[in-house]
Homo-oligomer: A and B are copies of this chain.
Amino acid sequence: MIAHTDYLWFNTKKRQEFIRITDEVRAVVKTSRVRDGIALVSAMHITAGVYVNDWESGLIEDFQVWLEKLAPAGLPYKHHQTGEDNADAHLKRTIMGHQVIVPITKSDLDLGPWEQIFYAEFDGQRRKRVIVKVMGIE
């Protein structure tokens, strides 16, 4: 069994940004030489998420508008008494999910026709990591 680990780094220009990372995950899987297995892709910071959905800019805007409605910024959150101002980012990432498991078959990501992997940043403008842990057989 192979276990291979890599980390993707992000430092977004905007506070909130959605970034497609399918190709970066695929590259880690190729390097791992796993033929059959899984890749865990997981945000290591608690105001960011990782999710699988459509690569369509309109839908990405819909997600952002929707998240603002379900988990608005600017409310008097208790968390802000610590000096933080990002409680909404913790909630938004909870809705999107913070990790996905991508199946690997025949040495490639086994994704459906429209599945793309995204990093969702909700409190960016600083360096953050995503772990990619690949496990399987050669």
- A46 with B103: CB separation less than 8 A: no
Q: Nearest CB to that of A105 among chain B residues? A: B5
Using a CB-CB cutoff of 8 Å, which residues 114-138 of chain A contact chain B? Answer: 114-115, 129, 131, 133, 135-137
From the candidates B36, B91, B113, name the one contacting A5 in the complex (CB within 8 A): B36
Tell me the bound Cα distance from A80 to B37 in angstroms.
36
The A interface, classified by DSSP as helix, strand, loop or mixed, is mixed
Interface size (A, Cβ < 8 Å)? Answer: 57
Q: Chain A: residues with CB nearer than 8 A to chain B?
A: 1, 3, 5, 36-38, 40, 42-46, 51-54, 56-59, 61-63, 66, 70-71, 77-82, 87, 90-91, 94-101, 103, 105, 110-115, 129, 131, 133, 135-137
